[in-house]
Amino acid sequence: MAVRPRLTTVKVVDAALELIDEQGVEGLTLAAVAARTGVATPSLYKHVASLAELRGHVGVRVLEEMTDRFTHTVLGLAGDKAVEALMHAYRAYVRQHPKRYAAMPMDPLHDELQQAAGMKLIEVMLATLRGYGLEGSAAVHATRRLRVLVHGFASIESGGGFGLPEGLDDTYDQLVRMYLTDLRGQS
């Protein structure tokens, strides 16, 4: 008789992310995760209290993945090069994991489970912008603008929303340059 590997919260979240990557957020159910992990649905309650909590853990994992990727991308860079690298890494993450990105919480800072992971991601963005001398509310506004620009573009792109023939890379490069010009004007 084969021994089934011990189920952990990490393995439950791994299975949830696999389902999301294949079927989108709407495919995430406790029954589907249970089937994927080879247990009965009630066995999942030892690891997550509900589907909402599982979604929270998925959101944390996505935030952590993005934070790790962005940190490694901007390490050793400053100014325009750091911001440009961050914006390209952000878009690349969404292109690589569009369904997983859709599971990212829109406002993790107001969720007890996701708050720490959300702050780490924001701190990477704020650190990347420090080279422009932005502090306080100016830094917050610049971070929001960066997120809106990349999120908006990458979300529309991953949804197939750009139908005109001009190259998307060209449009995105123009967007990055526009943002950098804006940052230079504020510092």
Give the pLDDT confidence score for residue 1 in this predicted structure. Answer: 47
Confidence (pLDDT) at 165: 87
Query: What's the pLDDT at 31?
Result: 97
Nearest to 30 by CA among 12, 11, 6, 4: 12
Q: Which domains does the chain have, with CATH numbers?
A: 1-48 (1.10.10.60), 60-186 (1.10.357.10)
Q: What is the arithmetic mean of pLDDT over 138-145?
A: 95
pTM of the model: 0.91
| Cα angle: 83, vertex 85, 88; to 5 degrees | 110
How would residue 111 be classed by pLDDT, with cut points 50, 70 and 90?
A: very high
pLDDT at 4 (0 to 100):
58
Q: Which residue has the tokens 């209290």?
A: 49
Which of 109, 179, 115 lies closest to 149 in space, CA to CA?
A: 179
Mean pLDDT value across the chain: 94
pLDDT > 90: what percent of the chain?
91
Q: How confident is the model at residue 78 (pLDDT cuts 50, 70, 90)?
A: very high
